[in-house]
Amino acid sequence: MFIPSSVPSAYRSCLQLADTNPRQSVLHAKHGLLQTSSNEPLAQAWAFYSVGWTLFRWERLSEAATYFEQALDYFRSIEDAAGLLHCRVGQVFIGWMSGAGRSLQQEWQSLVAAYQLLGDEQAVAQLQIYQAAHLNMLGDTAHSIAQLTTLASNTLHNISPSNLARLQRILGAAYLNQADFPTAERYYRDALQTFRRLNWQPEIAKCLFEQARLAEQRGKYRLAISLLQKARDLAAQHELVLLKSQCEKGLGLIYSRLGYYQQAIELLVTARSLFIANQRLDQAAQCDHNLGIIFYYYGLFDFSQAFYRRAQNSYQALDKTHDLLIVQRNQALIVRRQGQPEAALQLLQHLAEAAQQTNDLGELAAIFQAQAQCWNDQGRHEQALDAIQQAYAYFTAIQHADAMGECLLEYATTALLLNKYGQARDYFQRAKRLLNKRPMYMWLAVYGLGRCAHAQGQLKKARMYYQKAQAIVLNMRRSVPSEHASSGFFSQAQALYGDSLSVTMTLGDAAAILEVVEQHRAVTLQHYLNQPAAHMPLTLRQLYQQRRETLQHLINAAAPEHNINEALQEYLLLSLELRHIGFVPATPIADRFELDRIRQQFDLAYGTGWICLIYSFYGEHLLIFSLTTTSLAMTQQRITPQARHLLNQLTKPEYREFTYDDYAYAHGRSAKRWSILHQAQALLLPSEIGQLSDPDHHLLLLPDECLHDLPWAALAYRSQRLCQHAVLHQIPALQRMPSIERAGRSPNLLFIGCSFRDSEDPLIYVLDELEQVQQYWQHPIEILLDESASRQRIVQPTPQTTLGDYSHIHIATHGQMTSQQGLRAYIKLHDGAIFYDEILQLQIADALVILSVCQGADGDVLPGAEVLSLSRAFLGAGAAAVICHLWWVDDEYAVAMMDRLYQQLRLGYAAPTALAYAQRQWIEQQRDLTTEQSSAIWSGWSVIER
């Protein structure tokens, strides 16, 4: 606590109490203020001053500033120059703690000079100590060290133990910023010993926090976590909200390094919100910076860049030169990953010059390491080796084990590129030992060992390493609650996936090949089903609602696409942050892929009358696996330009009528009926499906990439459509999805319908669709029509009206899926849209969802077989199955289709069988309809099951 010698003795004990118990000191100071007579302006001034200082120590900066202002008014009214000076000190301290920039240094100098004139040496020493702390915050560690070292030598015998301990803690932080770890450790240890002897717990917490920073930079993450948790507990005990948030920010950074991305983001988002609420914009910027690092690890570079730019703007405004240097280096890494190594090198060269001027060896080494990566990208491997050697030497000098491991990884990669396999293997092994706690780098080291073995013809050894590396990547994917993040991890490991598949195919084991293909399917979907409903903090919930409403307004108003995209980017950025709050990561994988267990599951569900077709694109080939109760076969189809054109004709919306209404035959351009569909049969349907001798047998389909956009029911097989030959099921993965059954629930149905009768795009047949449902549904039904079909009723139901109470949910309204923007998919209710992320939170319990909306099955397919679609969102919310349409739905013909579907559901058939029978009825009756109407009515419908 800053206590000048002129402070009256009546207030000293209260101010001194703030060092050990800030909250109690505030209570005492406020009690003293209440006891002070308004007729005593000097006493009032000191009472307000005391409350201001105790509030400052309790980290209530805004309230403290108010009391200092009131104290200033009283001191001014009685012309007390010393009191005015003391209040100025309080205001400067608040400015420092609020993240003020370099201009505040002039205020520090002015105050030091003023107290020197007063002859108050203790006050001068305290001010210079805290001025040095502000220099640390600005990244000016050289001047901080010089000032503190001089101060220590000049006042060693006159300075109090508590002020000496503060000096040592701040000096330790300065040396830490210069990567002088041994010196920093010595000063931190000495400071902590003093504060423990004094039993000043808030200061003990600050020392523990600083020691944790040191442990983190040395790569001692377990120690850092332990220290931060102790510091956080002390901060929480004394209700020091800013210090507690700083500890959580530090924990978030460490968790991100260890690959615990969900915990990291949850901590950082929460801490950032608290920092903003308390006007600590510098700390909020560091949270943004750390979030940018995590999204960089995810491979989501646009989102990472958004966080970095937000941090950069704050650093520039606050004169945070050291942090600005780091965030600019991280931005150069993004430029490099986006395929622009030359541009990245130019930026890194500029940053290297700045780092050399500040003598920051750690940052200079990180820049050299980044330059080496760029030179390797350009094939300039010798230059890369020189840069790595410099970086490794610096990191070794400062004992930064993690960074040393990363350098060894780059050494190994360079040696591998130069075909020095033995050397590369040795470096990969050394890197693996140093990086064994960091999965983001560990998988690269293991993959590198596999590449060395592969290059030397050791295929079984290569496959072993590839399997281990894939397991690490898969566990990282399972740890994140985002399709984009999961896909980002896969994209970064796509070469690993290709090499693993290549080796496994060479070894010729179909089951092993299928395991490589299958383990990456629907990773995120499998974990949504295990998640509780997310509970956002109030401030974040309000911000989310604001951004959702802005996006919806722009979409409704048909605003320019660039405006919609800007709003969408902000909405998605916040959505991805919020998905991590309350998310429970999946347990790391342990069991191997068990084909017999999968067969048993299908046998239990379908008897022996089933075949499963699994599709996977691999380079210029399409792999098709045919799995039955007794066999597994694999077919390879080469994707020639002609085959690629055929796939476009089968899956692109613009070809729909041409392909599925047989345009060429109908207009006399082809003498053969369904020629395109018969070509599709030859490409996509292996001979094994001929084993399905009964049309009630089941054909399970696992599409890949563009095949998700295929209306499978409409394909030709022999002389029939495929839906006439078998009951079709689309499933997201071979692995069984978790069940969310609601015990004791009887059959009941919720009908949600919006006719939009007064809009420009009404759905005039919604009432007719409701009548059809009511005609055939023999169990209880609840109807939410038009005004009652509101967002509040669906998104925020009461405990008595949760969607988990219904066995069937029928939705008849507008829906939309925007290509390449899957998270923008929505269904429209009477008073607004429900977007993809909101659908995931609906807590449906094993219901059948009938989506009588447009584009319910249309999807945005990301690398790694992550699919964004309305149907996937409902599956993620807990639906057992979704009946949906691939294309635009004419609501008049939807009524007719629902009529036949509900006839079959009434008879007790499961959704796939009911839909198959309904489609077969349409096909048999198509002579009564035009060809165009026939395909538009029935062929786009499908059942997607969990």
pLDDT in tens, 163-177: 999 999 999 999 998
pLDDT for res 930: 47
**Rounded to whole angstroms, how far apart are CA atoms 252 and 267?**
5
Indicate the average pLDDT of the chain. Answer: 88
pLDDT for res 538: 65
Contact between residue 327 and residue 315 where contact means Cβ atoms under 8 Å apart: yes
pLDDT confidence bin for 661, thresholds 50/70/90: confident
Question: Which of 30, 1, 60 shows the shortest CA–CA distance to 238?
Answer: 60
Instruction: Please check the confidence at residue 157 and state whether its pLDDT lies above 70.
Output: no
pLDDT for res 206: 96
Instruction: Please check the confidence at residue 722 and state whether its pLDDT lies above 70.
Output: yes
pLDDT confidence bin for 543, thresholds 50/70/90: confident
Predicted TM-score (pTM) of the model is 0.86
Between 620-634, 734-748, 914-928, the lowest mean confidence (pLDDT) is in 734-748
pLDDT confidence bin for 531, thresholds 50/70/90: low
Question: Which of 408, 491, 492, 500 shows the shortest CA–CA distance to 453?
Answer: 500
Q: Which residues contact 23 (CB under 8 A, 6 or more apart)?
A: 58, 238, 239
pLDDT for res 480: 84
- State the first-to-last Cα distance of the chain, in angstroms, to the nearest integer: 62
Between 53-62, 391-400, 452-461, the lowest mean confidence (pLDDT) is in 391-400
Instruction: Please check the confidence at residue 744 and state whether its pLDDT lies above 60.
Output: no
**Rounded to whole angstroms, how far apart are CA atoms 351 and 334?**
15
Instruction: Output the CA–CA distances (angstroms, integers) from residue 677 to 567, 673, 718, 871, in the order listed.
Output: 41, 9, 10, 26
Instruction: Please check the confidence at residue 927 and state whether its pLDDT lies above 60.
Output: no
Question: Model confidence over 292-319: pLDDT tens digits?
Answer: 999 999 998 988 998 999 999 999 988 8
pLDDT for res 85: 93
Burial class (CB in 10 A: 0-12, 13-18, 19+), 683: middle
For residue 617, give the 3-state DSSP assignment. strand
Question: Model confidence over 472-511: pLDDT tens digits?
Answer: 999 899 888 888 888 999 999 999 999 999 999 999 889 9
Q: Which of 102-111, 391-400, 591-600 has maximum average pLDDT?
A: 102-111
pLDDT confidence bin for 854, thresholds 50/70/90: confident
Comparison of pLDDT for 53 and 99, the residue scoring more: 53
Q: Scanning the structure block, which residue is given the tokens 């010698």?
A: 5
Question: Model confidence over 240-278: pLDDT tens digits?
Answer: 999 999 999 999 999 988 888 888 988 998 899 889 888
pLDDT for res 750: 94
Largest separation between any pair of C-alpha atoms in the chain: 108
Question: Phi and psi at residue 859, in whole multiples of 5°?
Answer: -140, 155
pLDDT for res 484: 86
Contact between residue 598 and residue 496 where contact means Cβ atoms under 8 Å apart: no
Q: Is the dihedral of CA 214, 215, 218, 219 positive or negative?
A: negative
pLDDT confidence bin for 740, thresholds 50/70/90: very low
pLDDT confidence bin for 589, thresholds 50/70/90: low
pLDDT for res 535: 61
Query: For residue 279, is it left (φ>0), alpha (ψ between -120 and 50) or beta?
Result: left
Task: Please give the share of the chain, as a percent, with pLDDT higher than 70.
Answer: 93
Instruction: Please check the confidence at residue 238 and state whether its pLDDT lies above 80.
Output: yes
Q: What is the mean pLDDT of residues 158-162?
A: 85
Q: Scanning the structure block, which residue is given the tokens 């929460």?
A: 270
Q: What is the mean pLDDT of residues 679-692?
A: 90
pLDDT for res 788: 92
Burial class (CB in 10 A: 0-12, 13-18, 19+), 542: exposed
- Run of H or E residues at 943: strand 941-945
